[in-house]
Chain A
Amino acid sequence: MFLRILKKDIQKKKVMNLIVLLFVILASMFVGSGLNNVLTVLNGTDYYLEKGGVGDYVIITMGPNSIGALDDMLSSTPAIDAYRMDNVVYGSKDSLKKGDGSAIESKNVLLMQCLEDSTFHFFNEDNNAPAALAPGHCYVTGDFMAKNGLSEGDILEVGQEDVSVRLIVDGRLKDALLGSTFMGNTRILMHKDDFTKFSGSEKIAKAYSGQICCIDTKDVDTVDKAASGCKNISLAKPASTISMCYIMDMIVAFIVLLLSVCLIILSFVVLKVSLSFTINKEYREIGVMKAIGIKNRKIRTLFLTKYFGIAVVGSVIGFIASIPFTKLLLSSVSKNMVLGNSLGYLLNAIGAVIVVIVILLLAYLSTSKVKKATPVDAIRTGQSGERYSKKSKLHLSRSNKLGAPSFLAINDTASSPKRYISIVIAFALCTLFVLMLVNTTNTMRSEALISTFGTKSDLYMTSVKDSMEIMGSTEEETKAFFEKWEKEIADLGMPGHVALECQYGYNITYNGETTRVICEHGYGTNFEDYVFLEGSRPQCKNEVAITKILSKKLDIKIGDTITIDFGSEKIDCIVTAYYQSFNQIGEVIRLHPDAPVENTYITSTMSFQFTFDDHPDRKTILERQKILKDHFKNDEVFTTSEYVADCIQVVPTMETVQYLLLVITIIVVILVTILMELSFIADEKSQIALLKAIGFKNGRIYLWHVIRFGIVALFAVLLAGLLSIPMTNLCISPIFGMMGAYEIDYAIKPLEIFVIYPGIILLATLLVASLICLTSRSIHASDTANIE
C-alpha cells in the first residue's frame, strides 16, 4: 500500500513534483559548480604560479652585460634554496613583422627564447603542456595573436640587428610570469636552432640579451635585499607581487566566486520555499492518512521517500549539468590563467550529495507538521480555522483608479510579501552582480581613474620605440626630442605641450634598510595636476609622496625621512603626502619635479601625453586624435578614457564577463519565473477557476499574474540598483585598494543601473511570466466543481 500511495502521489501531483525536481536540478547545478569555482578561485594565482614554475622570487635582467649579472648574488646568498635561469633576447614591435610584411601591434617589450631550454611551464588553450616545436616554428604567449589577427599557421618575421628568421606560429600559450594583464609582455618561444641564431650574435648579446631567474626561497626579504644590489635589473619581485599582477583577472574570478556563493544560497532558499509549499499542499492527505490510522512515522517516511527519490534524480541530472556550467563560469577567467583544483569534478559530485542531504533535512523539518496535523485537518482541507491575522492590506473599494487585475496583483504582493521573498532575493542578487560589474567596467573605462596613472591630458600616445629612445638619451637630447614634437604639433595647427610619465628604479634607505623602489617623475607634466590623498603636496626636491601600499610595506609614514640614491647624489627626502597609483601594483614613490633624475635610471615609461593650449572640446580632440595617428603613423593614440582602459587592459574581459553574467542572470530569472509562476498557478487553481466562473476573461487573469510578477521583479531590480552603489564600493574598492587605488570615484551611470539593465531583466521576466501564465488557460470555470 505504501508504494501504491507513493505511485499515485507521483502520478497525481505531476506538476508540483516536477517543480521540486527542477529546483533540485538547479540547486545541484549551482552548488556543484559553485563549490568547484570557489575552491578553484581561492587556489587562483598560487596554483597557476606554482604550475608555471615561477618560484618564490623572480629577477629579470636587461641590457648590456646583463648575462651573468646575477651570478655573484646567487652564489653568495644562503637564503636561496634553488634557482632556474632562462636566457632571453629582447625586442620591440619593430623587431617583428607579419608574413606579408605588415607591422604588428605590441605595447610592451617582447621576449624571445628557446622553448626546449626554458625552465618555465607553459600551457596551451586546453591547459596541457604544448607539443614540441620543429625548427622554423614558434609559439606566442598572451593576447598577441588575437591583437594582431594572427591564427595558427601564420608567419612571423622576427628580426633583431643582423639576425632574421621566419617562423610559423603553432599557437598561443599561457605564460604564468609575463602573461598577466599588468605585465603584458609577449614571449616568442622558438626552437633551439632558431634561438641560437639570436643568442649567437655578438651584437644582440651586447645590447638585447637578458636573463630571467626564478628563485626558490623561504626568505623572500633577504633575497629582495640581495637583489637590490645587483645591476641591470629590470624586474625583481617576489611571487606574491607577480600574483598581484593577476588582480584584474582575479576581480573577474572573485565576481564568479561571489556569484557562485549567491547561487548556492539562492538555490537553498528556493528549495526551502518550494518544499514548504508542496508539503503545505499535502496537509489534507496527511490528515486523511492519520484519520485512517497510519502512524506519524510512516507518514513522514512516505514523504521522505518521495523527496529522496526526487532529490536523487534531480541531483544526478544537476551534477551532469554542473560540469559545462562550471566551465562556462570559469571560461572568461581562465583566458590568461590555468585555474584548477586537485579535486576536479569530485566537488560537483559532493555538491550534488550535499543537495540530497539538505533536501532530506528540509523535508524532514517541513514534515514536522505531520505530528501537529489532526484528522480534522483533512475535513477542513488543512485549514485550522484559527488564523485571525488580517491578510488584505489594500481595499478595492478605496482604489478608484485600479482595474481588477492590477488591484489583485498589488494586493497579493502587499498582503503576502513572504510568498515573494525568494523571487526578490533571486532577482535582486543576480541583478546586483550584473550592476556591480557594470559600475566597475564603466569606472575602468572612464576618466575617473586617470589620476592613478598620472595626470590628465587631451591625448596619449604609446610608442615603445620612442620611449626606449628617451631611456637612452641625455637630458639635452630629451629636451630636444620634446621640443621637436611640440613644434610638429604646432605646425599641424594644434599648439600644445608634450609630457611623459617616467618610472625610475632607485635604492632608498630607511632605518638602515636599503630597498630598490620605483619612483615616478613626470617630464613636462604639471605637478599641480597630481592628486594626493593625505598630507601636503611635495614643495621641493627633498620632499616626496608615497603610496599607502608602499608605506605599509616599508613602514614609512608621512613625516619620515628616507634617503634616495639618485646616482649622482643621495638626498634625504621627507615624506609629505600619501597618493594612489596603479603603477607597479601601487608600490611607488612620487618625486618632486626638481628631483635630480637621470634617464639612465628609467625602467619604464607611460605613454606620451599631449595637452593642447586652446582647451579643445571633445569633438576637436577626436579630430586631433586622427591627425596625430596619421602624423606619427601610430594607431595607439588614445583619449583619456581610452588610455585608462588601455592601461587597465582587463576592460574587454570585464565586458565579456558582464555579458556572460547578464546571460546567466537572465537564465536564472527565466528559470525562477517559470518555476514560481507554475507554483502560483498550481496554488491558485481554485481562485483562477473562480474568477473564470464569475466572468473574468483569460486575458484579465494573465494580466493579474504578469503584473504581480512585474511588481516583484521591479521591486527586486530597483533594490539591486540602489544597493549596487554601496555594494560596488564595498566589494570592489578593496580590490582596487590591493592594486594601489584607495579612493575611487565610481562612474555610476543611472541610466544603465536603473533603466537599461533592470529593464532587460524586467522585460525577460514579463515575457516569460506572460508565456507561462498561458498555462492557466487549461483551468476552466467548471473546475470549481472539482476543486477540493
Chain B
Amino acid sequence: MKKLMEIKNLCKTYVIEKRQNNVLKNVSFDVEEGEMVGIMGPSGSGKSTLLYSVSGMDRATSGSVTLDGKDITALSEKELASVRLNDMGFIFQQMFMMKNLTIMDNILLPAVECSKSTESRKEKVARCEELMRKLGIIEIAANDINEVSGGQLQRACIARSMVNNPKILFADEPTGALNRQSSAEVMDEICKLNKEGTTVLMVTHDAKVASRCSRVLYIADGNIRSEYRTPEGLSDRDRERALNNWLLELGW
C-alpha cells in the first residue's frame, strides 16, 4: 500500500509562564492509503495535539509531516488552509456548525469555497444531496442546526468533511458527544467511507470505536508506546475484546 502520510520526529512544546511542556516527543509513524488508524491514550497524553499537529491545524515545534509527498510543516498559513480545504476532512467531538446556515448550506459551504473542481453550484448541490442521502440525512437538509438530533448533526459534520473528496479524514472523538445508538450509526458511516477508500485518522478513548480501526496507536506521555493491528476475520465483539486485552497489557 502507498504511504499517504509520513510523520517523522514530531515534537510539540507549549511554553506556559516560562515553563516548557513537551506534549509530543519525537513522534513518528506512517498512515497508508485506505487505512483507518485509531489513536488512543489516557487523558493529557497528547492525542488531540498529535491530531491537530498532523493535520496542520496546529504548528509542530519540530519534525515533519508529509501528506502525499508534500511536507505540510513547511507550508505557509495560506497554503495550509488550501490543503485543509482540498485534501483533508475534519470531524470534531463538538458538532461545530455555522449557526445561521441550514444543514445543507453547512455541508455545501466548503464545496463552494473549494476551487479545485470546475463544478457549477448546481452540480455541487447535487453532490451534497447525494452525500446526505448516503448518510441518511437528506430529510433534514433544509433544517436549521438546532432542529436536529446530535447523531444527525454529527452525520452532517461527516458529510461536510467529505464534501471535497479529501485524501484523509481526521476525526477527534467523533462519538464523544453522542449516545450509544448515535455512536454506532456515526461509526458505521465512517467505516463505510473508509471501505470506499477514504483514509481515516481518528482519536478516541472508546475501545468499541477503536476496535473498528485497522490499526491503533497507543500514545502516552507524548510518545507512541505501542501499535496494535486488528486481526482480520473476527466478529465485532471479538475485535473489541482483543483490543481491550491489548490495552490492559498497556495498563489502560
Contact = CB atoms under 8 A, between A and B. Distances in A.
Nearest to A690: B96
B94 A696 contact: no
Contacts of A276: none
B84 A395 contact: no
Given A782-B57, A784-B57, A690 B98 contact: yes
A196 interface: no
B110 A694 contact: yes
A485 interface: no
A387 B147 CA distance: 8
A370 interface: no
Contacts of B112: 396, 403-404, 407
Secondary structure at the B interface, as helix, strand, loop or mixed, is: helix
Interface string A552-593: 000000000000000000000000000000000000000000
Interface string B87-100: 01010101011111
Interface string A681-717: 0000011011111111111100000000000000000
Interface stretch (A48-56, A75-83, A409-417, A669-677): A409-417
A411 B48 CA distance: 33
A408 interface: yes
B121 interface: yes
Nearest to A399: B121
Contact of B81 (A412, A416, A696): A696
Nearest to B83: A695
Contacts of A687: 96, 98-99
Interface of B: 48, 52, 56-58, 77-78, 81-86, 88, 90, 92, 94, 96-102, 104-105, 108-110, 112-114, 120-122, 125, 128, 144, 146-147, 160-161, 164, 172
Given A383-B146, A411-B100, A412-B100, A785 B85 contact: no
A695 B108 contact: no
27 contacts: A388-B147, A390-B144, A395-B104, A396-B108, A397-B128, A399-B121, A404-B112, A404-B113, A407-B112, A408-B98, A412-B100, A687-B98, A690-B98, A692-B57, A694-B85, A695-B83, A695-B85, A696-B81, A696-B85, A780-B57, A781-B52, A782-B52, A784-B57, A784-B92, A785-B92, A785-B172, A787-B94
Interface string A408-440: 100110011000000000000000000000000
A411 B57 contact: no
A385 interface: yes
Contact of A784 (B56, B96, B122): B96
A694 to B, nearest CB: 5
A391 interface: yes
A787 B48 CA distance: 13
A399 B172 CA distance: 32
Nearest to B104: A397
A607 to B, nearest CB: 63
Contacts of B110: 694-695
Contacts of A400: 120-122
A102 interface: no
Top-8 shortest CB links A-B: A695-B85, A782-B58, A781-B57, A695-B84, A396-B105, A415-B100, A690-B96, A697-B81
Contacts, number: 116
Contacts of A391: 99-100, 144, 146
A459 to B, nearest CB: 62
A533 B83 CA distance: 74
A118 to B, nearest CB: 71
B48 A697 contact: no
Given A392-B144, A404-B112, A687-B98, A693 B84 contact: yes
Nearest to B101: A392
B102 A692 contact: no
Contacts of B85: 694-696
A408 B97 CA distance: 13
Secondary structure at the A interface, as helix, strand, loop or mixed, is: helix
A157 B153 CA distance: 90
A780 to B, nearest CB: 7
A117 B175 CA distance: 95
B52 A395 contact: no
A404 B109 contact: yes
A687 B100 CA distance: 10
Nearest to A396: B105
Nearest to B78: A697
B94 to A, nearest CB: 7
B5 to A, nearest CB: 17
Contacts of A696: 81, 85, 113
Contacts of B109: 396, 404, 694
A190 B196 CA distance: 102
Given A392-B102, A782-B52, A694 B108 contact: no
B96 A397 contact: no
Nearest to A391: B144
B160 to A, nearest CB: 7
Contacts of B120: 400
Contact of B84 (A411, A781, A785): A781
Interface string A767-788: 0000000000000111011010
B81 A695 contact: yes
A785 B100 contact: no
A697 B82 contact: yes
Given A403-B112, A411-B101, A781 B144 contact: no
A699 B77 CA distance: 11
Contacts of B102: 392, 395
Nearest to A699: B78
A781 B108 CA distance: 19
B27 to A, nearest CB: 16
Contact of A785 (B52, B86, B121, B144): B52
Nearest to B85: A695
Contacts of B92: 693, 784-785
B53 to A, nearest CB: 8
A699 B58 CA distance: 18
Interface string A372-384: 0000000000010
Nearest to A414: B100
Contact of B108 (A387, A397, A698, A787): A397
Given A392-B144, A395-B105, A695 B58 contact: no
B49 to A, nearest CB: 8
A386 to B, nearest CB: 9
